Structure 1
Amino acid sequence: MNVEIINTWEYQYVGIKKNNLFSPLTAAYLAALLPSDVNVTIRHELVQQVDYEIDVDLVAITFMIGNAPHTYKIADRFRKRGTPVILGGFHATFLPEEALRHADAVVVGEAEYVFPEIIKDLKRNSLKRIYKATKLHSLKGLPVPRYDLIEKDFILNHPVQATRGCPYRCSFCSVTSLYPSLRVRPVDEVMRDITCFEGRNYLQNKMVMFMDNNIIVNNKYAKELFKKMKPLKKWWLSQVSINMTNDKELMRLAADSGCRGVIVGLETFSQENLKNIGKRQNKISEYKNAIKTFHEYGIYVMASIVIGFDSDTKESIHRIPNIIQELGVDYPYLFILTPLYGTELFNQMDREGRIITKDWSRYNCYNAVFRPKNMSVDDIHSSYLEIWKEMHSFPKAINRVVSNLPSPMFPSILWRLLDNGYLFFQNLTGKYPLVGVNGSENSNTVEPVC
């Protein structure tokens, strides 16, 4: 039996049709769940186009909400050829009836318990319409991801997961809707996934990308993992919460184990906004010292910033580029607030009548899909581009590189130079985010089942 697993993606920047820096984990992990007698291939649209002529018995597609219409077109085309299609992921879990219009079967929830069952049913020609995980997996005894199947196009191709879920309840986040509790994998099994990998070059063997939503939330577990990792002399990146810096032992162990970069969700510079979305672990007054602490340990700080919250105004969001410089952020990400289906924020805005479209292709963090309180939708879109271009202008980019020198650890300084240089070049050549449009296919709409 031949199975192809596809992770769909639509480009969201003008003139950029690939995103090959980090490989996702999902497809390689799903491949590992299949029996040994199944011949499996994986395909990431981040780096490869879909091959509709491939000879397979099943196509399994995992996707996010912003890729839903695009994914449905892919699924419809395979089914038209007579190839069975299974859909899964966050959006399929939250709207299975919608997904079923374009699939032979839909996975609702986690795949660990149901994916092997799907293969058995397919062999018997008796696929069910819905495969629903009736319980959460303990995360013990998970197989090693099929790293050997990840495309060579990716620069870094060693994703690892140590924990799943998050105990915080931020209203805009879909993670807790699907994973309502924090679970941790056995440290020895995480170490196995780290050490068994063989890359094609020094950088691939050196770098590990943890795909956790917040790897340090369970401090005791994180410290045990970092102690075990220290002898490996790896470099690693992960998402963490900004309050990580309150625990100096945790910081020391993370740095000693090879932490060279973190992604933190600063989100906003309004404490009222943080309160409204339930992100109480963030304290704006502590941002600057926290970033300074990361730098003292040689850790590169990537920070996500979101515009469109209820307390935001045009004036307040246009101060963002200067605030980022004052805080010492190494590399800023800018997004438009997106109430993803299945989240508390979506439900709230839907009740208030503020959702203006259910064209899921616009739910990609670059479109305002709701009515803001203090701005118009056009204000959000135009302000986003103005802020993005200012953040990645030459003065701002060079300031981020120079002002945070010297960094006590390599490769933080190199990343700072490369990342900011890259975005400055994108800005210079007009390759900016596709704001206010629904990805690459303006005709992509789907009648939602809500």
Structure 2
Amino acid sequence: MSGLRVGHEALLERGLRLPGLSRRATALSQLPPLGLLTLAGLVPDDWDVGLVLDDGVVEEATAVDQILSAGEHGASENGQPDLVAFSALTPSADRACRLSERLRKRGITTIIGGLHATAAPDHCQPHFDVVVRGDGEPSFERLLIDFRGDRMQPEYQSRGHYSLSDSPMPRWDLLGDHAPPRYTVQSMRGCPWSCSFCAASRLLGPARVKPDVLFERELAAITSRQSRPWIELADDNTFASDRDHSWMLDALQRHGARWFTESDWRIALRPKLLRQIAESGCRQILVGLESNVFRYPGMGAKTADWDRMMEAVLAIQDAGIVVNGCFIVGAEGETPASIERLGDFLDEAPLGEVQLTLQTPFPGIGLYQSLLKAGRLLPGDFARYTLFDVVYQPDQMTAVQLQDSFDELVGRVYRPEAQSRRDQIQKSIRSKRPRRKVSP
């Protein structure tokens, strides 16, 4: 269950169709579902496995038909699958629930896992036969064994913290003969920080890294399908660990990858690492700057003086890597005036790219619980938790004011002349890119 989802029509009309933001939305929609492809690598050879990608656009009845006909060798003997496993983030969870209900009426067993299922199992349990919480790999293996033994449980949860040294090879073959424009690889899971707005950093346990040999094995599998691939590292903060990243970066360079990831500004304090990142083919790094006024709780060591962070941005871009500055609107204390000041800054900022989202209190994080306790969550279902729709009552203005101010900011930041200015910045950054040697 993927795709960029936005409920606010005015925002769609004003900004999300503009080139700057639609470019990133297109890139996100092209990413294969790494979690499901990884779990598919655990399925025994005598199972028939199919993959369905749902972007939330097609009619639900059509989506069900796609699920029923999926499989490596066509439908099963009774014309339908025995198990259907869903992976859904919060904004697509309600649609996943409705699809599951349709399938269950046909006697099909349905399963859901992922961040939303981990954080909000009570929301999922009425609509699915099985809810998997936490790391999916160890639970999925037990679940398949229990299904065959007719002893499936309504809930599975990983015991302890799954080691990425046991990671199976993702089933890239399920994508068919056509290689996707972008591939995803995970080099680490989790993040050492616990930013108040982030649901991913702690729900699946502590930060863990994937062994270098497994990382390169996955790269080799991808490059056997597509030379010089575009890679997105499916990490929350790739360089936050204390591992030696040299092997990983050498592997990316040897395989000719062009790649994107997320990190924090502190990589600029490590000149040798920054040079290796640039030489290995990194094209862009999303850096969580969050706000030029407010500081969100839980940001740990990445909290710093604003000028210091901007100096780091310039250092990263001087190395030939575009910084996609990520800003979150809607902190406690936010006002229409502070949002307008952010727009003033972004009109002149040296950033090669910009990402704007609204603070969103996802289930499983402290912000959700505090706003729920205070009665500040707005009524409605989880389909509104898109990062672009206001779902809580701000403390310094009305929800309508926050939505309108954010909509205006999006229109301002992604207007054609603003994006053209950033395109020129990107062109200048690309000219600084180091030449690299790629192994044949």
TM-score tier, shorter chain, comes to 0.7 to 0.9
Tell me the number of residue pairs that the alignment of Structure 1 and Structure 2 aligns. Answer: 402
**In the alignment, is residue 110 of structure 1 matched against residue 119 of structure 2?**
no
* 2:428 match: secondary structure: coil
Percent of paired sites with the same residue: 24
Structure 2 equivalent of residue 395 of structure 1: 417
**Following TM superposition, by how much is the alpha carbon of 1:199 offset from its aligned partner in structure 2, in angstroms?**
6.5
Structure 1 equivalent of residue 205 of structure 2: 180
Q: Structure 2: 5+ residue runs without aligned partners?
A: 7-11, 70-79, 435-440
**In the alignment, is residue 166 of structure 1 matched against residue 191 of structure 2?**
yes
Amino acid at match of 2:138: Y
Compute the TM-score of the two structures, normalised by the length of structure 1: 0.83
**Following TM superposition, by how much is the alpha carbon of 1:130 offset from its aligned partner in structure 2, in angstroms?**
0.9
- Residue in structure 2 matching 1:336, options 358, 361, 378: 358
Alpha-carbon distance in 2 for matches of 1:60, 1:78:
11
Q: Structure 1: 5+ residue runs without aligned partners?
A: 1-6, 413-450
Structure 1 equivalent of residue 280 of structure 2: 257
**Following TM superposition, by how much is the alpha carbon of 1:280 offset from its aligned partner in structure 2, in angstroms?**
4.8
Alpha-carbon distance in 2 for matches of 1:153, 1:11:
25
Amino acid at match of 1:354: R
- Residue in structure 2 matching 1:148, options 163, 173, 176: 173
Over 3 Å counting, the alpha-carbon distance change for 1:116 and 1:409 in structure 2 is farther
**In the alignment, is residue 225 of structure 1 matched against residue 248 of structure 2?**
yes
Over 3 Å counting, the alpha-carbon distance change for 1:112 and 1:157 in structure 2 is same
* 1:42 match: secondary structure: coil
Structure 1 equivalent of residue 43 of structure 2: 34
Over 3 Å counting, the alpha-carbon distance change for 1:41 and 1:409 in structure 2 is farther
Alpha-carbon distance in 2 for matches of 1:332, 1:103:
38
**Following TM superposition, by how much is the alpha carbon of 1:45 offset from its aligned partner in structure 2, in angstroms?**
1.3
Over 3 Å counting, the alpha-carbon distance change for 1:252 and 1:32 in structure 2 is same
Over 3 Å counting, the alpha-carbon distance change for 1:282 and 1:326 in structure 2 is farther
The 8 Å contact of residues 147 and 158 in structure 1, kept in 2 or not, is answered as no
Amino acid at match of 2:51: I
Q: Deviations over 1:325-376 (max 9, x none)?
A: 4331222121111011110111222233322235211111122111111111
**In the alignment, is residue 287 of structure 1 matched against residue 309 of structure 2?**
yes
Alpha-carbon distance in 2 for matches of 1:128, 1:87:
13
Q: How does 1:410-421 map to 2 (within 5 A)?
A: none
**Following TM superposition, by how much is the alpha carbon of 1:171 offset from its aligned partner in structure 2, in angstroms?**
1.3
Over 3 Å counting, the alpha-carbon distance change for 1:246 and 1:327 in structure 2 is farther
Alpha-carbon distance in 2 for matches of 1:364, 1:48:
15
Amino acid at match of 1:75: S
Structure 1 equivalent of residue 333 of structure 2: 311
- Residue in structure 2 matching 1:299, options 287, 312, 321: 321
Alpha-carbon distance in 2 for matches of 1:226, 1:11:
33
The 8 Å contact of residues 119 and 364 in structure 2, kept in 1 or not, is answered as yes
The 8 Å contact of residues 274 and 280 in structure 1, kept in 2 or not, is answered as no
Q: Which deviates further from its counterpart, 36-45 or 224-233?
A: 224-233
Amino acid at match of 2:153: K
- Residue in structure 2 matching 1:69, options 91, 94, 106: 94
Amino acid at match of 1:146: R
Alpha-carbon distance in 2 for matches of 1:164, 1:345:
22
**In the alignment, is residue 357 of structure 1 matched against residue 379 of structure 2?**
yes
Amino acid at match of 2:354: P
Compute the TM-score of the two structures, normalised by the length of structure 2: 0.84
Alpha-carbon distance in 2 for matches of 1:319, 1:153:
46
**In the alignment, is residue 197 of structure 1 matched against residue 197 of structure 2?**
no
**Following TM superposition, by how much is the alpha carbon of 1:404 offset from its aligned partner in structure 2, in angstroms?**
4.8
- Residue in structure 1 matching 2:231, options 208, 227, 230: 208
The 8 Å contact of residues 69 and 361 in structure 1, kept in 2 or not, is answered as yes
Structure 2 equivalent of residue 347 of structure 1: 369
Alpha-carbon distance in 2 for matches of 1:64, 1:154:
24
Amino acid at match of 1:97: D
Alpha-carbon distance in 1 for matches of 2:167, 2:253:
23
The 8 Å contact of residues 262 and 285 in structure 2, kept in 1 or not, is answered as yes
Over 3 Å counting, the alpha-carbon distance change for 1:378 and 1:136 in structure 2 is same
Q: Deviations over 1:70-106 (max 9, x none)?
A: 1110110111111110111112112223311011111
Over 3 Å counting, the alpha-carbon distance change for 1:10 and 1:128 in structure 2 is farther
* 2:295 match: secondary structure: helix
* 2:243 match: secondary structure: helix
**Following TM superposition, by how much is the alpha carbon of 1:109 offset from its aligned partner in structure 2, in angstroms?**
1.1
